[in-house]
Amino acid sequence: MRSKTILMTTLLCAGTALAACNQAESPSETARDVSETRREAQQDLREAQREAAEQRADARQQETTPGVPGARTGETDAEAAFEVQKQRIEGEYDVAIQQCEGMEGEAQDQCKEQAEQRRDQAMQQAEAQRERTTM
């Protein structure tokens, strides 16, 4: 009896969760979520830019300090630029996913799929650029 109750409760919860999938958020909720996600993405991007600038400065400092093995500044620059680009791409993806939440059903699925494809393509381009820069 107890296992039957647990099974029924689990199925009810799973059914409720599935029913909520792919349902559109209200326009105001979507706008709020997009705005918040965009703000967070901008903060994350600024942080990545600050860290990249610090890495570049550290590499240049090591390069000019006597007795300290020189950093490979070109590689540091390429890696720092890649990290900034990667953060920008992820932020754009997060915003796009939030925008998809305003759609429902198949349209939402397609929107998210397209966002993932754009992110993956942008990441491949960023990685290729990093490789070309460090060669």
3-state secondary structure 28-39: HHHHHHHHHHHH
- The pLDDT score that the predictor gives to residue 2 is 53
Mean predicted confidence (pLDDT) in 48-67: 83
Q: Is the distance from CB of 87 to CB of 123 less than 8 angstroms?
A: no
Q: How far apart are the C-alpha atoms of 10 and 134, rounded to whole Å?
A: 53
Residues of the chain with pLDDT > 90: what percent?
A: 58
Range of the domain at 36: 2-134
The confidence band for 43, taking pLDDT boundaries of 50, 70 and 90, is very high
pTM of the predicted model, to two decimals?
A: 0.74
Q: Is the distance from CB of 86 to CB of 49 less than 8 angstroms?
A: no
The structural domain count of the chain equals 1
